[in-house]
């Protein structure tokens, strides 16, 4: 890896949604930005699909369990998880429309940065929702068995 030029900030693996401070980024740097946001998109898409199937399976399990107050609470807590999954999908939708047709390099860079912003937010929502979903699933299993 080559040292960065003065006034440039290095691009790290844990990227943030702030824009790149330079417009003369190399093609390789732009490709890495797109690759990182593709990874965030893949993670979020996989997690949403997994959680949607898990919610369905756990809802059936809750419906078959003997009635209890904990069952009602856990069923109600499934709704915010479903809403969080929907939020992730909406963030990914924003990311998918951010690049569009760029007429020049500056517009392409702006589109990439906008996409990075939305995929970064989707990743944060995915991590938080995934953790909440895991705890909810454990609670459902404890109540059902």
Pick the more confident residue, 110 or 129: 129
Quote the CA–CA distance of 116 and 73 in Å, as a whole number: 37
Give the model's pLDDT for residue 129.
Answer: 94
* Sequence-ordered list of residues with C-beta below 8 angstroms from that of 106, at least 6 positions apart, any chain: 23
85, 130 contact by CB (below 8 A): no
Burial 92-112 (b: 16+ CB within 10 A, else e): beebeebbeeeeeeeebbbbb
Q: What is the pLDDT of residues 39-57, one digit of tens each?
A: 888 888 899 999 999 999 9
Q: How confident is the model at residue 20 (pLDDT cuts 50, 70, 90)?
A: low
**DSSP assignment letter at 76:** H
Give the model's pLDDT for residue 106.
Answer: 76
Across residues 94-106, what is the average pLDDT?
A: 77
């Amino acid at each position: 890896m080559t040292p960065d030029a003065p006034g440039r900030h290095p691009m790290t693996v844990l990227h943030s949604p702030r824009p790149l401070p330079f417009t003369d980024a190399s093609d390789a740097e732009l490709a890495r930005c797109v690759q990182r946001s593709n990874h965030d998109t893949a993670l979020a898409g996989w997690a949403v699909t997994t959680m949607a199937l898990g919610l369905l399976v756990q809802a059936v399990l809750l419906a078959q369990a003997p009635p209890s107050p904990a069952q009602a609470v856990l069923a109600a807590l499934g709704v915010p998880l479903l809403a969080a999954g929907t939020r992730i999908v909406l963030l990914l939708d924003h990311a998918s429309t951010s690049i569009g047709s760029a007429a020049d390099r500056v517009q392409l860079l702006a589109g990439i940065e906008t996409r990075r912003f939305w995929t970064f937010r989707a990743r944060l929502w995915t991590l938080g929702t995934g953790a909440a979903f895991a705890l909810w699933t454990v609670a459902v299993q404890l109540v059902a068995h």
